Structure 1
Amino acid sequence: MNISLRGYGENVATFQVSGNVTAGMPVKISANGTVSPCAAKDKFCGVALSVRGGYAAVQTAGYMQAPYAGTKPTVGYQTINADGTGKVQTEASGRLLLVTDVDDPAGTCGILLA
């Protein structure tokens, strides 16, 4: 891609962690101020950027790149949820998000979180 959307509208919040959260995975709110890994078909609140000492920096808005599973997403508005293994997938249920780019060889897609 000849342009970069990195940094566009990024918002990051710190949450406590429950479960095995790792950087790069979609996460969900599981308790007050706490995130945990998503199960298959969960709607995710954001993506963990880093995890340290029981806390995670979670990107909740802006441009992000994520690995995808299953059917290759297409650019435009897609319904997306978590696949349960740390990736995102297009499904009938989930969040309606804007897919801005797809890198098929890398297995990643660019998404604008709202």
Structure 2
Amino acid sequence: MSKISFEGIGETVATFACGESVAAGQVVKVSDGGKVDVCSAGERPCGVALSAEDGYAAVQLGGLASVPISGEGVTAGWCKLSADGTGGMKQDASGGTDYLVVQVETSSAVICL
């Protein structure tokens, strides 16, 4: 168990309407005015759904956030990442966006949105 916590640092959260496929913990994109949906592979997310129920999602738009990661190559420091199409992020050296990764675990990473 780590003695370091990044939870809540710089967190900015807003409420959006959401599609039925949005679930807590997934990276999401703005899909319409005031609405978010799950990102397709290769897309740049606007944030992470912290909760999703009754057609609305609380979305973290800024600060340090824990996101699921897939594949290999995500390391601490600056990494080019994009959505993996399953609610998480993956390394994407050719088309990704730079994110500061402050911690990497087996299937998740803490990134600065």
- TM bin, normalised by shorter chain, reads over 0.9
CA drift of 1:19 comes to 4.0
Aligned residues of 2:28 and 2:47 also touching (Cα < 8 A): yes
Aligned residues of 1:97 and 1:112 also touching (Cα < 8 A): yes
**SS at 2:86 equivalent:** coil
User: What TM-score, normalized to structure 1?
Assistant: 0.92
Query: Matches of 2:96 and 2:33 in 1, distance apart?
Result: 22
Query: Matches of 1:72 and 1:78 in 2, distance apart?
Result: 9
Q: Does 1:60 align with 2:65?
A: no
Query: Matches of 2:41 and 2:19 in 1, distance apart?
Result: 17
1:101 alignment partner in structure 2: 103
1:30 alignment partner in structure 2: 31
Query: Matches of 1:24 and 1:44 in 2, distance apart?
Result: 12
Query: Matches of 1:49 and 1:4 in 2, distance apart?
Result: 17
Which 4+ stretches in 1 moved above 6 angstroms? Answer: none
Q: How many residues align?
A: 111
CA RMSD of aligned residues (A): 1.0
Query: Matches of 1:30 and 1:68 in 2, distance apart?
Result: 22
**SS at 2:67 equivalent:** strand
Aligned residues of 1:15 and 1:34 also touching (Cα < 8 A): yes
Could you list the runs of 5+ residues in structure 2 that have no partner in the other structure? none
CA drift of 1:82 comes to 0.6
The percentage of aligned residue pairs carrying the same residue is 42
2:10 alignment partner in structure 1: 9
Could you list the runs of 5+ residues in structure 1 that have no partner in the other structure? none
Query: Matches of 2:109 and 2:87 in 1, distance apart?
Result: 14
Aligned residues of 1:41 and 1:94 also touching (Cα < 8 A): yes
